[in-house]
Every structure is written in structure tokens, then in C-alpha cells.
Structure 1
Amino acid sequence: MTKCRFDDHAPDGPVLTPYDDDHLSDYLRLLDAEEEGSDWRETVVALFKIDPTAEPARAERMHASHLARARWMTEVGYAHLLGHRDALKR
């Protein structure tokens, strides 16, 4: 699977998307960074390759949007992922 570039906004719908599937490991990186207490600006540089000084609004939006989606994945999305994977096995 080829990793696509990041959209400025992560999906926010109630179902898993191909974008989510492409970025599962990135969502985990975001959650890990938050758990470790990393500065969101450092995370943006490392993950999205965006300079938060040059593009502060965009960087903050991207971080917030993708972190929200990462949290959704831990609360709801994982069930869709498991169901999707089970359906593929049949």
C-alpha cells in the first residue's frame, strides 16, 4: 500500500475511509506523541513535515483534525476496522 500525503483535514465521518486505512500508523504516532507529552509543534514537523512557524494555522488545524480522528479510531473506528478485516476473511 502506498502512503498518500496528508490532507489538511482528516476525515470526520462515521465510517472508516481509505484515508484512515492509509494513515493508521500515523494515528498511532499522534496518540503516542500526545501520551508522551510531546509539543504538538514538534509532532507536526516530524509527522506532517510542516513548519508550524511558517504555517501556524494550517499546522494546528492538521494536528487537531488528525488527533481527533486518531481518538475516534480508538473509541469507534477500531470496531469498523475489525468488521472490515473479518469481512475480508470470508
Structure 2
Amino acid sequence: MRVPVELDPDVDDEAPTGDTITVYDKRHYVTYLRLLDAKAEGADWKEVAQTVLHRDPVADEFRTRRCWQSHLQRAQWLSREGYRKILEQAVANKL
């Protein structure tokens, strides 16, 4: 089953955890890339949360920061380890 990647989707309060690639992950690849780019550029987390995650750090700073941290951690996992699973799934789907 192919899952469409969305360019600017809304996000859950927390990103998935664990060592499997989820449907949520597949839909949020662009979100994860944007978070990694922002981190590399040293962007302010509040601005990133508002722009990328559609969260308001002024209205609920704790919840927004937790959301940002969760998604950034997932993005970092995907870039370090999870990408291997993406490749394995792609190969398996070709067989």
C-alpha cells in the first residue's frame, strides 16, 4: 500500500516511537526533513513549531515544546537508523 507524502500536514501531539516505520511516518517525511533542516540552521524551536507543526508556543508552551521534541527525535532516528528500514521495505515491495 502506497501512502502519500503530505507537504504540510497537521501533526499529532507526539510522533511515533519504536523501530518500525509507521503510516504516520510515511505521511510526515517532509515534516521530518523540515525539522532537520531547521535544526541544522539553528532556527528557534518556537518558530519552527509554529511554522512546521502548526502549534502555538505562546498558548501552550509545554505541550508545543513536547510535540516539537518528539517529532525532532523521530526525524533524527529516521536519519540515523530508520532510513535502512525504509530501504528494506522498498526492496521487499519490489519482489
Report the TM-score when normalising by structure 2: 0.89
Counterpart position of 1:60: 65
Counterpart position of 2:14: 9
Counterpart position of 1:48: 53
Q: 1:51 to 1:71 in 2, by over 3 A?
A: same
Give the CA deviation at 1:5.
Answer: 2.9
**Is 1:83 matched with 2:88?**
yes
Tell me the distance in 1 between the aligned counterparts of 2:49 and 2:10: 13
Report the TM-score when normalising by structure 1: 0.94
Percent identity at matched positions? 41
In the alignment, structure 2 segments of 5+ residues that lack a partner are none
SS state at 1:84 partner: helix
Tell me the distance in 1 between the aligned counterparts of 2:33 and 2:64: 18
Q: 1:49-82: per-residue Cα shift (whole Å, max 9, x none)?
A: 1110101011100000000000000111000000
Give the CA deviation at 1:22.
Answer: 0.6
Counterpart position of 1:69: 74
SS state at 1:73 partner: helix
